[in-house]
Amino acid sequence: MTIIAIAFSTRGYANGTSEADREIKPQWIVVPDEVADKAWTITNWYLWEAKLRDRYPGIPLAFAVQNGMGIECVPKTADVIFVGGTFEWKWTTMPMWCQNFPRVHVARVNSWQRLWYCQELGAESCDGTGWFKGVEERHDLHLFLAIQAGMVHGLDGLDLGGLSYQSRSASLVPLAIANIGKVYPVP
């Protein structure tokens, strides 16, 4: 789905984005950012945007929002919002991003409750390496994906860790969970 969760270096980023040259195109590419660094992330957008748009025409670019950013900080040309930042900042500001932008990806979503929270707020996608630690024991993830794929029915009103599930269109069916340089799409 996307190329994410790669430790940043210019060479590493160039190698990672080369995946976009393959037959299966990513849904978007995140422009290099620096976690919790507003100024550097904004600077990077303007350093990389033209290069990436020239190299990968038609592939949307994601702007990573970081600590201290508001809606006014998002470049007008950003196609997707990638919610990064520190843990507390991300979860405090996420409703604002989902309410103001049609395409939102949330980084580092590693729990059942946060996965459902992303769903409730309307996030398009999320990632989290925690889902691949003891994957055979992650029944909560398997249940979430089965619900999203329409394979489990009759859960209206079910209490899911403080969040209530209500049937809705499968807004996270194209969800992919990423693991350091690899993406595992949901069938």
Are 131 and 141 in contact by the 8 Å Cβ rule? The answer is yes
**Ramachandran region of residue 17, left (φ > 0), alpha (ψ -120 to 50) or beta?**
alpha
Domain hosting residue 114, numbered range: 2-185
Long-range residue pairs from 154-159, CB within 8 A, at least 24 positions apart, any chain:
none
Q: What is the predicted pLDDT for the residue at 83?
A: 98
Are 93 and 139 in contact by the 8 Å Cβ rule? The answer is no
CATH label of the domain that carries residue 12: 3.20.20
pTM: 0.69
Domain count, the chain: 1
d(CA 14, CA 86): 25
pLDDT in tens, the chain (187 residues): 233 333 445 555 555 556 656 677 889 999 999 989 999 999 999 999 999 999 999 999 999 999 999 999 999 999 999 999 999 999 999 999 999 999 999 999 988 889 989 999 999 999 988 777 766 666 777 777 777 777 766 555 555 555 444 444 333 333 333 333 444 443 3
